[in-house]
């Protein structure tokens, strides 16, 4: 075949399958450290799109290529999922995210895929109705920590993970990526360095009680100071290895289930709830949102306020009580200057 007639990667069926296989079997689990569940979710999402292209668009899987991952096809796939299959907004958006993520990876492998990826990014997901923020109430958080136990080494490790996860408002990926070198407990203001989303680092101060727990933990779990060792680990065949996010998620669910016999617990438990609980606690104590934004590592303040800046019944009642003038107070809104300020566009 002459070079003039040779197919470019965006038109090659083999390039699609080879790239997708490498992405799912190596890039996601080994490079990006995604959990088995996440990888399988992405795999199902991509297969769902390929099935759609074959059954609804008549594009054989023996001939499908990245050229078929066009903006129009992705958009019609989204509409089909929503209007024909009646899938949830979250499921629809997750599948579109998986497609965009694969295209992003493929564009790094071949410049021919870049225009396809750029156009695909223009596809907007389905609007997801806002719902109540999921976090632990004080009594639930107390029951969770009290149920951990302290008898075995695993329990002591788990307890330390929950304490640090809550205090530093960590994502589960941030927790398992911590190393000894991430700790700065001897600094004037003790803190940890966290690798967050977008490979961006942030420094998070720690409470004095947490520092005491960390020092005790290090004495037991890291008597020899290998600064690059994972802070939290498991041992398999005599070798230490980093924990998976599934291990941490299942650990939290186990302790939550254990607490259900004593207190009411949310139906669906996930590690991110500790992060939201910490932020909510700080918010209700009057911590300014920009400080919470810095703690959480949010790029935009709108993300922080969108999650946490809603008033609980008590918060709202306290604010109304504080704002409500007494009978002897002069109503400032009757002041001429105040009227001018209020009645402005």
Given 33, 119, 254, 272, the catalytic residue: 272
Let me know if 344 is a catalytic residue: no
Q: Where are the domains of the chain?
A: 9-120, 138-317
Kindly name the residue from 275, 276, 278, 283 that is annotated as catalytic: 275
The enclosing H or E element of 203 equals: strand 201-205
Query: Residues 66-75: what's their mean pLDDT?
Result: 96
pLDDT at 282 over 60: yes
33 as an active site residue: the answer is: no
Cβ atoms < 10 Å from Cβ of 295: 21
115-149: pLDDT as tens digits: 999 999 999 998 877 666 678 989 999 999 998 98
- Is 272 labeled as catalytic in the residue annotation? yes
Mean pLDDT for the stretch of residues 164-172: 93
Mean pLDDT across the stretch 266-274?
90
Q: Is the pLDDT of residue 320 over 60?
A: no
What CATH number matches the domain at 138-317, 3.40.109.10, 1.10.443.10, 3.40.50.300, 3.40.50.720? 1.10.443.10
pLDDT tens profile 240-266: 889 998 899 999 999 999 999 889 998
In the block, residue with structure tokens 């965006």: 10
pTM passes above 0.85: no
- What's the sign of the alpha-carbon dihedral 294, 301, 165, 38? negative
- CA-CA distance, 137 to 280, in Å (whole number)? 10
Active site residue 156: no
pLDDT at 236 over 70: yes
- What is the average pLDDT across 311-330? 54
Pairing, β 183-184 against β 233-236? unpaired
Helix (H, G, I), strand (E, B) or coil at 201: strand
Question: Is residue 345 scored above 80 in pLDDT?
Answer: no
Task: Taking residues 153-166, report their average pLDDT.
Answer: 95
Give the dihedral of Cα atoms 221, 226, 227, 232; nearest 10 deg.
-30
Q: How many Å from the N-terminal Cα to the C-terminal Cα in the chain?
A: 69
């Amino acid at each position: 075949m002459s070079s003039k007639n040779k197919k470019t990667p965006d038109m090659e069926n083999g390039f699609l399958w080879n790239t997708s296989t490498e992405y799912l079997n190596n890039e996601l689990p080994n490079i990006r450290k995604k959990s088995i569940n996440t990888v399988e979710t992405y795999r199902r999402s991509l297969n769902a799109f390929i099935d759609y292209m074959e059954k609804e668009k008549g594009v054989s899987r023996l001939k499908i290529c990245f050229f078929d991952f066009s903006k129009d096809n992705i958009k019609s796939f989204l509409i089909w999922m929503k209007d024909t299959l009646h899938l949830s907004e979250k499921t629809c958006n997750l599948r579109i995210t998986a497609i965009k993520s694969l295209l992003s990876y493929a564009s790094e492998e071949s410049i021919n895929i870049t225009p396809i990826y750029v156009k695909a990014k223009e596809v907007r997901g389905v609007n997801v109705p806002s719902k109540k923020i999921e976090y632990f109430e004080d009594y639930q958080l107390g029951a969770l920590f009290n149920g951990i136990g302290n008898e075995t080494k695993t329990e002591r490790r788990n307890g330390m993970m929950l304490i640090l996860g809550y205090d530093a408002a960590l994502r589960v990926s941030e927790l398992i990526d911590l190393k000894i070198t991430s700790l700065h407990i001897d600094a004037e203001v003790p803190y940890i360095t966290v690798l967050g989303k977008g490979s961006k680092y942030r420094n998070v101060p720690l409470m004095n009680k947490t520092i005491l727990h960390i020092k005790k933990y290090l004495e037991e779990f890291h008597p020899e100071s290998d600064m690059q060792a994972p802070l939290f680990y498991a041992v398999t065949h005599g070798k230490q290895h980093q924990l998976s996010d599934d291990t941490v998620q299942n650990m939290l669910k186990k302790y939550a289930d254990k607490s259900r016999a004593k207190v009411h617990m949310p139906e669906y438990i996930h590690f991110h709830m500790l992060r939201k609980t910490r932020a909510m606690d700080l918010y209700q104590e009057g911590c300014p949102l920009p400080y919470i934004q810095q703690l959480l590592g949010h790029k935009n303040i709108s993300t922080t306020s969108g999650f946490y800046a809603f008033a609980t019944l008590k918060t709202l009642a306290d604010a109304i009580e504080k704002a409500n003038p007494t009978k002897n107070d002069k109503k400032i809104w009757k002041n001429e200057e105040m009227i001018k300020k209020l009645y402005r566009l």
